[in-house]
Structure 1
Amino acid sequence: MSKWFKEFRLTDQPSCRLFCFPYACGGASLFRHWPRLLPADMDVLGMQAPGRECRYQEPPVASLTEKVAILRREIDKYLDVPSVFVGHSSGALVAFELLRSLDHAAKRCVKAIVISAKRAPHLPRIRGPIHDLPFDELLQKLRTMDSIPGELLEDRALMQLFTPLIRADFALSETYRFIAAPKERTKAVLFWGRDDLDVSRQSMLEWQRHFSQEIELHAFDGPHLFIRTHHDQFVERLGSILKPLLHSPELA
């Protein structure tokens, strides 16, 4: 068992094991209902990074390089069956860099990566950094974005409590510097929200530059956090896409 992965379902003979990576400031609880909506032979594990939920007393990790290095060690014990990485927003960047960090044998276990609501990593940023802004300016900027649940933004006391986590999670993406590498051979499936204010369809299609197989882009009604606002539809569609994909001869 790893503190970094919450095990929502582990079966004796899984068809695959889903590793799920939440958006900025999100925790593993985002995925707690996924098992009831996915085929019974799919394991579900959610990343539980420090600074949130049951690990709220631990300092959050603000470096993507550091987080990926830790995850690389923690995930090794689970990569004994066909696996899929699923990441939403900044979680997609974590999943992608974790995939790139794996050695050849481990990569062979990862049959697909699902990238949801994240611009391709080589594209220039469309917003300036916010992680080091004074509190009131940070709050004002966050209100113009679609990256933090609205109920949290409206609670000033809670926002002050969560500010260290918010700063760390945004710093993780804002200090990230993409380094070119050979294309990944893993199958990439992309989800995009038609009402996303920051992530365009073209910015999702740019992910093709980083994968040798043709990517699949699935449009989804909803804003940036459609993984929350359209939770059941998202998970059910994910399962319907993954089930035939995992039995494809190309991925055997």
Structure 2
Amino acid sequence: MSRVTLFCLPHAGGSATIYNKWQKYLDNSIALYRVELSGRGKRFNQNLYNSMEEAIEDIYYQIKPLLISPFSFFGHSMGSLLAYELCCKIKQQDGLDPVQLFVAGGKAPQCRGSERKLHLLPDDQFKRELKKLGGTPEEILGNNELYNFFSPVLKADYKIIEEYEYPLRNNRLNCGITVLNGTEDNIKAEELMAWNQLTNGKCNIIYFKGGHFFINNHLNSIVQLISETITLECMRKINFV
């Protein structure tokens, strides 16, 4: 069985480093690829994205050489939307589907469109919204110098999320979708169940205790779930063939 590449995509304002600890918990049959978005981390000196289309095009060509082997995606929050759109891009360009798509803390793409335009808020209001959501360190929100350093990335990411328009597609994905969410997150159940409409495969919804950033407190359980699901899917496909 070929090693499966797990592409991991961060939340708004996040970088590839948020997945640094994952490899040691993943099964040896899974290779971790932490996708670095433009304008942060090792790509700090590159331009931020202006649209979802621009982000998908950039990431697609970053990971394209690795699509010769089986692959899966994990995305948290903004990363869930990026992961789905990348699956659609790969299906269109290469005729390939992932072994499994994992989305966390993200409503189904077709349920978007009524987002508040947080990226247009004045800084004081934007900070308050970030604090409500959690995930942004208090050291950043409480320090003007640090905030001014990170806020362009945050606002650029919120912009591409809030201006995203779901494109109607005739073709569904041919893979399972595992939807993870926090019990205290404000995403509605029907917005999570709507992921089922995007695939011909099975769609499972699993809750973890916590809010929008529940993944920070359930690292072992989530990575173990990912490893087991990918392994089972690979075995199922081998047996089916």
TM-score by length of 1: 0.87
Cα deviation code 1:67-94 (max 9, x no counterpart): 1112222221000111001111100100
Q: Assess, with a 3 A threshold, how the Cα gap between structure 1 residues 20 and 107 changes in structure 2: closer, same or farther.
A: farther
- How far does residue 14 in structure 1 lie from its aligned partner after superposition? 4.5
Report if aligned partners of 1:17, 1:81 keep a CA contact under 8 Å in 2: yes
- Secondary structure at the counterpart of residue 96 of structure 2: helix
User: Could you tell me which amino acid in structure 1 is paired with residue 215 of structure 2?
Assistant: I
Alignment of 1:172-251 (within 5 A): 172-182=160-170, 183-196=172-185, 198-249=186-237
- Secondary structure at the counterpart of residue 81 of structure 1: coil
- How far does residue 243 in structure 1 lie from its aligned partner after superposition? 1.8
Residues in 2 aligned to 1:78 and 1:165: alpha-carbon distance in whole angstroms: 27
Residues in 2 aligned to 1:172 and 1:70: alpha-carbon distance in whole angstroms: 14
- How far does residue 241 in structure 1 lie from its aligned partner after superposition? 2.4
Cα deviation code 1:113-167 (max 9, x no counterpart): 1111100111145641111222122112222223534443333321111111011
Q: How many residues align?
A: 239
RMSD (CA atoms) = 2.1
User: Could you tell me which amino acid in structure 1 is paired with residue 195 of structure 2?
Assistant: W
User: Could you tell me which amino acid in structure 2 is paired with residue 138 of structure 1?
Assistant: F
Runs of 4+ in 1 over 6 A off after TM superposition: none
Moved more, 83-92 or 216-225: 216-225
User: For residue 6 of structure 1, what is the aligned residue in structure 2?
Assistant: none
User: For residue 93 of structure 1, what is the aligned residue in structure 2?
Assistant: 81
- How far does residue 42 in structure 1 lie from its aligned partner after superposition? 0.8
Residues in 2 aligned to 1:81 and 1:217: alpha-carbon distance in whole angstroms: 27
User: For residue 46 of structure 1, what is the aligned residue in structure 2?
Assistant: 34
Q: Unmatched 5+ residue regions in structure 2?
A: none
Q: Assess, with a 3 A threshold, how the Cα gap between structure 1 residues 94 and 239 changes in structure 2: closer, same or farther.
A: same
Alignment of 1:156-167 (within 5 A): 156-167=144-155
User: For residue 129 of structure 1, what is the aligned residue in structure 2?
Assistant: 117
Q: Unmatched 5+ residue regions in structure 1?
A: 1-12
What percentage of residue pairs aligned between the two structures are identical? 22
Residues in 2 aligned to 1:178 and 1:251: alpha-carbon distance in whole angstroms: 33
Residues in 2 aligned to 1:141 and 1:104: alpha-carbon distance in whole angstroms: 36
User: For residue 116 of structure 1, what is the aligned residue in structure 2?
Assistant: 104
User: Could you tell me which amino acid in structure 1 is paired with residue 182 of structure 2?
Assistant: G
Q: Assess, with a 3 A threshold, how the Cα gap between structure 1 residues 200 and 148 changes in structure 2: closer, same or farther.
A: farther
- How far does residue 59 in structure 1 lie from its aligned partner after superposition? 2.4
Residues in 2 aligned to 1:207 and 1:101: alpha-carbon distance in whole angstroms: 17
User: Could you tell me which amino acid in structure 2 is paired with residue 189 of structure 1?
Assistant: T
